[in-house]
Amino acid sequence: MSEMYRPSLHFSPKRGWMNDPNGMIKVDGVYHLFYQHDPDSTDHGPMHWGHARSTDLVTWEELPVALYPTELGTCFSGSAVETAKGEVRLFYTAHRRVDGEDYQVQCLVHADPTLTTYRLDERNPVLGNPGLVCFRDPKVLWHKRSGRWIMALTHGQSIGFYASEDLDSWTFQSSFGDRHGRHSDGPWECPDLFSISDDRGNEHWILLVGIGSGAYAEGSGTQYFVGHFDGTTFTNSNPAETTLWLDYGRDFYAAQSFFDRTGSAPTVVGWASNWQYARDTPTQSFRGVMSLPRTLSLVDTGSGLRLAQTLPHSVLSAFQSTSDQSTYRRELEVTLSVGQSAVITLFAERQPHFTITRVAANEISITVVRRQIAAAPAFAHTYRVSGAYPQKGPLRLELCVDRGLVEFATGDGLTWITQLFFPSASDGIEIVQG
């Protein structure tokens, strides 16, 4: 586990390939993280479900592979739920090729309360394919007001919603996405749907959608919609052309929240990579890292309701107590006049990685720079992110560095930028203001 580029506070598998988080659930105080996994290769191959668990979202125990390919296909992304009777069920997409085309159906798995034994439902698939090439990534949740289970599924360039009384039989309700948000040449993926309250206690619904290419910072990213869901239809609260991003970095994709019957604030984890170069990163025994967990809240920004993200207390404590000098968290404050910049340089390098410039009285521009690595031509980039500067006082910055993985936040958690680096030195930070 001592490989050079392996973070110490972010989950990574001991060996093999990992991409999207799925099946995330908290049961009896234990967080379970499943993930897309090929245990036999560091490249994307036949998908299994890897499995890890934690009681604090920091120290993860990797467990044996949970789901294996069957005659219905390999095990694509999905979700996990716990019923009122304490029954745990997993849902995943079985994927195979038929006559040269992708063919995808939804399958059900029964798990024990410790999530260590699994039984495939004999009726699989529980939801057959209605004729769609892209029909995958079931996110299942309980909708209290309608008193039934809801499944959100990608339909390619939209998200379909299905309902069930018993988690066995599913009926199509509606779809959302046509002409809303960001679209590209690739399908929408890995939907997530959950309720969240604003600071007045009003309920809203959040729909997360992964976009494999054409995101804000090129390649993969996670967009979200704020709206209402009545158990049948999702209604966007913003104009259709509004595009909101959970993270503005190049390495935060397929974010999913934990299913938690206690009603705690939603906590999400994303895959810290990008399909433009995920297969080319220079690790050896493993390939793939998860982001830090982030707890979500809904904030009225004046421009509308937006998601803010904060790190759980257990994660903050882990940064404080670690003895690894290449893993650290810094809370910074900079006071900038219009036209002034602050420069952050990491890993004892000479050229800056983040340049924060106050471009107007209430606006900043963050220039993000990453240099080339061998065998991954799409890795290098320079781009800009806009953010808010407070009307009074300094600008607060939060910088989390875990060897080569950097998660940078400002705007009281409204703006996050996650970047994967593979530096020759993993420590060293310099901040210059002027």
The region, left, alpha or beta by phi > 0 then psi within -120 to 50, assigned to residue 304 is left
Q: With contact defined as beta carbons under 8 Å apart, do 189 and 254 qualify?
A: yes
Distance between CA atoms of 292 and 277, rounded to whole angstroms? 21
Rounded to the nearest 5°, which phi and psi values hold at 171? -125, 130
Enumerate residues 6+ apart whose C-beta is below 8 A from 148: 163, 164, 165, 231
DSSP for 246-257, please give it: S--SSS-EEEEE
Amino acid code (one letter) for 434: G
Enumerate residues 6+ apart whose C-beta is below 8 A from 355: 341, 342, 343, 344, 366, 367, 369
Distance between CA atoms of 202 and 226, rounded to whole angstroms? 13
Distance between CA atoms of 132 and 138, rounded to whole angstroms? 14
Catalytic member of 20, 38, 247, 402: 20
Residue 230 falls in the annotated catalytic set: no
Could you tell me which of 236, 146, 222, 168 has the C-alpha nearest to residue 191?
222
Beta strands in 212-271 (DSSP E): 221-229, 234-236, 244-245, 253-257, 267-271
**Integer CA distances (angstroms), 335 to 24, 25, 78, 342, in order:** 40, 41, 45, 9
- Cα dihedral across residues 168, 172, 174, 176: positive or negative: positive
Distance between CA atoms of 58 and 365, rounded to whole angstroms? 32
- Sheet containing 267-271: order of strands: 253-257, 267-271, 294-300, 305-310
Could you tell me which of 333, 330, 331 has the C-alpha nearest to residue 392?
333
According to DSSP, residue 353 is labeled S
Q: With contact defined as beta carbons under 8 Å apart, do 72 and 55 qualify?
A: no
DSSP for 272-341, please give it: ---TTTGGG---SSEE--BPPPEEEEEEE-SSSEEEEEE--HHHHHHHHH---TTEEEEEEEE---TT-E
Q: How many CB atoms lie within 10 A of CB 242?
A: 16
Enumerate residues 6+ apart whose C-beta is below 8 A from 315: 9, 57, 58, 292, 293
Q: Which residues are catalytic?
A: 20
